[in-house]
Chains A and B, each alone.
Chain A
Amino acid sequence: MGNALINVPGTVKRGEAFEIKALISHPMETGFRAGTNGTLIPRNIIQRFTCTYNGVEVFNLVLSPAIAANPFIAFFTVATESGKLVLRWTGDDGFSAEETAPITVTS
């Protein structure tokens, strides 16, 4: 579920901080808006975003209805070992999406 775009540099020098950019398609419905028939549209947001680097969690973001639709998240992490990054989004109505990206670390 979900359509995600992630941007990670292919190779990074060991010890260097590199940026990870992630974009996922999601309505991020706030639960405060009324639909055409006047009733409130139920809340449907991504609640949490996490990034693990070779199994270790390096970034965690708690989202709220104040995050724009199709959430874009950019953050940094330090290159330690070659391996893989796993980005995971979870939210309302059992929403769950996962993307992985390989990372090559040069010394």
Chain B
Amino acid sequence: MARTPRTTTRRTFLVRSSSAAAALALGATSMPAQATPESLAAAIKDVVGGASLRTGKVTLDLPPLAENGNTVPMTVTVDSPMTEVDHVKAIHVFNEKNPQPYVMTATLSPRNGRAQVAVRIKLNDSQKIIAIAETNTGEFWTASADVIVTLAACLEDPT
């Protein structure tokens, strides 16, 4: 899969417009199925606290369509010089519909040189993934991506 370039691509546009639409809908009516569950909001609040969460700087690279939810490649990249005065302290990832909202936390420092982490994750359902980057100055930047999952994780028994 090609890396998302800096300019607005069709995908980033779609992601942004869909999250904007979701925000609008949330404001207008209470959303039953697609609303962010309370546990997710609580998990995010645990990390962010009272600080404001801003969209940008974070690139969350996920396939828009995952055939197998048992292993979905994910790359989180944060636009940061990674110097002593300005670096990303941690990258947190959350999901919407797995049994637990928490996915991972990576602790970074200027020693990393580049704020990029790649892992493979499990997805139980088509859902939104949220990445939050915490900088040393106490700022929180976020990005989200929607993934459609055809075969959900957690269903098959290996034995």
Contact = CB atoms under 8 A, between A and B. Distances in A.
B72 interface: yes
B99 A76 contact: no
B56 interface: no
B23 interface: no
Interface stretch (A3-11, A64-72, A91-99): A64-72
A62 to B, nearest CB: 4
Given A61-B104, A64-B104, A65-B100, A78 B113 contact: yes
A30 B121 CA distance: 12
Given A36-B159, A61-B104, A61-B106, A66 B122 contact: yes
A67 B113 contact: no
Interface of A: 16-17, 27-28, 30, 32-36, 41, 53, 56, 58-69, 71-78, 80
A73 B112 contact: no
Contacts of B122: 28, 30, 65-68
Interface string B100-133: 1011111111111110111111110000000000
